[in-house]
Amino acid sequence: MIHLLTYKRSVVIQPTFIKAQPKTGRSTAIIKKIPHFDQILSVSKKGKYYTFLGKEEIEKRFPMLMKKKFVDYASYAGKTTEEVFGEDLKRTKELSLQTLSSLTLINNGKGGFESIPLPSPAQWAPIYAFAVGDFNNDNKTDLIAAGNFSGVSPFEGHYDASYGSVLLGSGTAAFSALSPLQSGLTLNGEVRDIKSLKTLSGVLWYVVSRNNGSLLFYKNSIKQKKTSR
């Protein structure tokens, strides 16, 4: 299980409004303190929690707090989150995360939902875009899932193991993943949206948009059924 603590502190912003006094010529600046939150991500090991980020990354977010306590890596190594932040943890709000899986939610008809994780290829990187359709004409709902994320620190490394997944539906909540060789889908980069385009002849195209990348066009080789009007 992963714990996320939000650490609240106040920062002073630069004046956004200055009013000049007509008689004295002096100016009055309005300075506001606004709440600012930092995240402290911790992972559980043998019943204790340790910061996910290393000493250097923690220092970037809490420079004054860290430098007065830990002068080198030896003094920081092996310290729990409680030992690192001490009394300052009283200023945090604790959030718990039970699962990080990408999943489908199925309405059980009883006022709730059943969660079913997607196949393992859909778990290799964050998913930001889905396309829903019947890709193989078996009258069952299929999915295309894609994503990736590179806006992270060097400590973490890019989350870019996904090249897009074609997930074939079984008619229930379960999906099976095709390999890139089977599906012909190879999406690199940070995928952020997928749209479908259907021609008058029944050919289905998928347009994929990526951060800082060109559009990609994929054609479904299986001719789609014509819809009646």
pLDDT in tens, 36-75: 667 788 888 888 888 888 888 888 877 766 666 777 788 8
Tracing tokens 């002096």 back to the chain, one arrives at 26
Q: Which residue has the higher pLDDT, 117 or 26?
A: 117
Calculate the CA 25 to chain-centre distance. 51
CA distance 140 to 170: 7
Confidence at residue 10, expressed as pLDDT on a 0 to 100 scale: 44
76: confidence class by pLDDT, cuts 50, 70, 90: confident
pLDDT, tens only, 133-177: 888 888 999 999 999 999 887 778 899 999 999 999 987 778 999
Q: Convert the pLDDT of each residue in 82-97 to its tens digit.
A: 888 888 788 777 777 7
Per-residue confidence (pLDDT) for residue 15, from 0 to 100 = 46
